[in-house]
Homo-oligomer: A and B are copies of this chain.
Amino acid sequence: MSDPEPEDPGAPGKPDRVPNGGNPDKYKEDLDLAAVYVSDAQYNRNIYFDTTPQAVRLYQLYNHWVLKVLLYFFILVNLGLAVFEEPAVITTPIWATMGAELLCLLAFTIRLVHYAKVIPRDKFWKDPKNICIIVILMLTLIDMIIYGALKSANCHALRWSRVLRPLLLVNVTEGRQLRRAFRSIRNALPQIFYVFLLFMFSVLIFSLMALKLLGLKTINGAPYFTNYLDIVFDLYVLVTTANSPDVMMPAYNASFIFAIFFILYILINTYIFMSVFLAVVYNNYKKYLKEEVRQLVRARRHKMARAFAVLQERQEGAEPVVIQERWNQLIRLVRPDISNSHRELLWSVCDDKNQGKVAFMQLADLLNIEVITLKSRPHPLQGLCPALYLSAPSRLLCRLVQHRAFVITYDLIILVNAVFIGLDEENQVIANSEWVFLSLYLLEILLKLYVFEPRGFFSKHNFWNWFDTIIVVSALVATVVNSAVKSAGVYSSRQILDIVFILRVLRLIRVVDSIQRFRAIINTLIRIGPAILTFGQLIIVVYYIFAMVGMELFKGKVKFYGDDSVDPAKAFCGNRLLEGTDFAKLNYCKNNFNNVVSSFILLVELTVVNQWHDILWGKKHLIQKKVKSTDSVPQGHWLWHASNPA
């Protein structure tokens, strides 16, 4: 990657700033290039783009937020197609889903071509994620053609390429965080693997003991602990605590000595080994994540050094510096939204007159610091009608609203409201009380707006003010709509009622804000939100792949019959193999892979662990293969548990 060294940069508007005949175009291009470097450093982008002016402009376009939003929109559409495709939640003709998918593929291709134009050709072909996207696009296209052909010939067809869809989420340029998380997990795997081996060894040893010590021949006619593989499975399930204490009861009923065996087993395998697992995953994930962050910091400094090299001016005998005027132009390019005063603040943080290299390098970090501008503007009413606003009653009102008692009063109102919500809404008094509460909440907001400066009240960082206002106003609108519908004598929709109700309950959350400690906890949760989101994407990638595989393997194998159904097949979920199993008895028929929504819900249930073996056994009766495909989900569950603290 070659870096054009700026020989003699000059300012276009000010010829006195172009000392030795430098040309204005070059000056502008250098500024653009530097701005791209700085913004890459700020957002931790790691793309080796071409440094020709044309490529830089294309690259700026590539990073435009509209294009990114579009990309994610198409990814969502592509993933969402599963709802409409066979086995569908909402049945749609094939041409529609195929058309939509083609459109998505086109969008991905355009994005990829754009990317190819931005970075040098050799870099493009060396990057595995580009190759990965190309392969995914090709395979999808091939699959679509085959599927279309087979369908039109009325043959049985399989959309196997759907498994690849979530991989796009990982491989697009913007999937950096996700790739980082995957890399950290992959790097931590070898260490985890050794603990897992030791854990499996322990399970096998315990199973061997169980076979010999507890091999009670029959319990109520059924064999208990007589088959080694069954014991291994049972004890493996016991580690997830899902079949405790049922698996122990027959032995415990025989003698309490046997209970000690199980307690020892749970102690060693569930508690000690799972804790070691957690510790190993946590430590390794943290270690590799630290390494990743270290690399990020290195890359960021590298980019800032490049930006400095582009902008620097050499003065004889002195260190190269960036002069304030150029620096200002740079900031205006990188962050057009920040105010002059904010920019001056940033400049003054590095107290040199002209910024040397060390000071300049901090810029990327400085730009990431959120600066909250607290302007103590007078209230607009004060400007409009000072006599009234500053009068004694008005001042008293302000003092009252700002008093602690005001907050406590409203907390009490919320509590009373909570009780009213819990009561029967058929009662006329209670139904009318809703209007009282609504007006009380509205009054509160209006009072606050009277006392506090509105722009300050609704500033970006005042999360709770926004929350309050939105909830109260929507509740008002929904309630009005609801009563209008009701008084018009039209059929009162259950949906509107539900929405009104949810809004009413959400209002109660406000009470959390008035207790300092609760606010701190909630704020912490909000702050770790982005990390949880990355993790959520990761989970979706894994779930989606499992859901696709599960749907192709098991669709239609288990059927759900409505409550009103009198079909005798209802008792065994429409599959004779399930007759008499726990699965059918526990009324789990709706836990199936018949469409993408129930697949996801089923996978969540498996993740939650309890009763997973029942769900699994039900399926196992259907097809032995199943054990393989869902067996790794509980492990996914440990990972999820384990990565949480990281």
User: Does any Cβ of B come within 8 Å of A611's Cβ?
Assistant: yes
Nearest Cβ distance between residue A28 and chain B, in whole angstroms?
Answer: 49
Please report whether the interface of chain A is mostly helix, strand, loop or mixed according to DSSP. Answer: helix
A505 touches B249 (CB 8 A): no
Contacts of A590 in B (CB 8 A): 249, 252-253
A212, A266, A422 — which one has the most chain B CB atoms within 10 A of its CB? A212
Contact B249 A588 (CB under 8 A): yes
Docked-complex contact A256 and B601, CB < 8 angstroms: yes
**Inter-subunit contact A610/B422 (CB<8 Å):** no
**How far does the Cβ of A74 sit from chain B's closest Cβ, in whole Å?**
25
Smallest beta-carbon distance A37→chain B, Å: 38
- Contact call A521/B601, Cβ cutoff below 8 A: no
User: Known interface pairs A245-B588, A645-B279. Does A422 touch B208 (Cβ–Cβ under 8 Å)?
Assistant: yes
**In the bound complex, CA of A544 to CA of B198 (Å):** 33
Rounded to whole angstroms, the CA-CA distance of A588 and B422 in the bound complex is 36
Minimum Cβ distance to chain B for residue A2 (Å)? 46
Q: Is the CB of B205 within 8 A of A509?
A: yes
Report the minimum CB–CB distance from A234 to chain B (whole Å): 13
**B272 and A525 contacting across the interface, CB-CB below 8 Å:** yes
CB-based nearest B residue for A256: B597
> Do the beta carbons of A611 and B276 come within 8 Å of each other?
no
> Given contacts A249-B587, A259-B601, A587-B249, are A611 and B560 in contact (CB under 8 A)?
no
- The interface-forming segment of A91-99, A111-119, A236-244, A618-626 is A236-244
A194 within 8 A of B: yes
Are A266 and B421 touching (Cβ within 8 A)?
no
B591 touching A245 by the CB < 8 A rule? yes
The reply to whether A421 and B198 form a contact with Cβ atoms under 8 Å apart is no
Q: Give the oligomeric copy count.
A: 2
Please, which residues of chain B bring their CB within 8 A of the CB of A467? none
- Please tell me which one of the listed residues B518, B591, B610 contacts residue A243 in the complex, with CB atoms under 8 A apart: B610
Nearest Cβ in chain B — how far from A235, in angstroms?
A: 14
Near B by CB (< 8 A), chain A positions 258-279 give: 259, 263, 266, 270-272, 275-276, 278-279
User: Is A605's CB within 8 Å of the partner chain B?
Assistant: yes
A264 CA to B263 CA, complexed, in Å: 34
Contact indicator B505/A209 (Cβ below 8 Å): yes
Q: Are B521 and A276 in contact (CB under 8 A)?
A: yes
Contact in complex: A644, B244 (CB < 8 Å): no
Give Cα A422–Cα B207 distance, bound, in whole angstroms: 10
**A605 contacts which chain B residues (CB < 8 A)?**
244-245, 248
Q: Is A81 interfacial (CB-CB < 8 Å)?
A: no
- Select which of B194, B512, B586, B644 is within 8 A of A275 by beta carbon: B644
Contact pattern, A 390-421, Cβ under 8 Å of B = 1, otherwise 0: 00000000000000000000000000001001
Is A517 part of the contact surface with B, judged by Cβ < 8 Å? yes
A445 part of interface (Cβ distance < 8 Å): no
Tell me which of A242, A425, A598, A601 has the highest count of chain B C-beta atoms within 10 A of its own C-beta: A601
Residues in A504-534 with C-beta less than 8 Å from chain B = 505, 508-509, 511-512, 517-518, 521-522, 524-525, 532
Q: Is A246 an interface residue (CB 8 A)?
A: yes
B-side contacts of A141, CB under 8 Å:
none
The answer to whether A484 has its CB under 8 Å from any CB of chain B is no
Asked if residues A263 and B604 are in contact (CB atoms below 8 Å), the reply is yes
* Contact A244:B611 (CB < 8 A) given known A249-B588, A256-B597, A601-B252: yes
Contacts of A245 in B (CB 8 A): 588, 591, 605, 608, 610-611, 615
Q: Say yes or no: is A501 at the interface (Cβ < 8 Å to chain B).
A: yes
Binding site for B on A (CB under 8 A): 194-195, 197-198, 201, 205, 208-209, 211-213, 228, 241-246, 248-250, 252-254, 256, 259, 263, 266, 270-272, 275-276, 278-279, 282, 418, 421-422, 425, 498, 501-502, 505, 508-509, 511-512, 517-518, 521-522, 524-525, 532, 560, 562-563, 586-588, 590-591, 597-598, 601, 604-605, 608-611, 615, 640, 644-645
Supply 11 further A-B pairs (C-beta < 8 A) apart from A245-B591, A245-B610: A198-B518, A208-B418, A208-B508, A244-B605, A246-B611, A248-B605, A249-B586, A249-B588, A266-B608, A270-B608, A275-B645
13 contacts between A and B (CB under 8 A): A194-B518, A197-B518, A198-B518, A201-B518, A209-B505, A212-B501, A244-B608, A249-B586, A249-B587, A254-B563, A275-B645, A276-B525, A610-B610
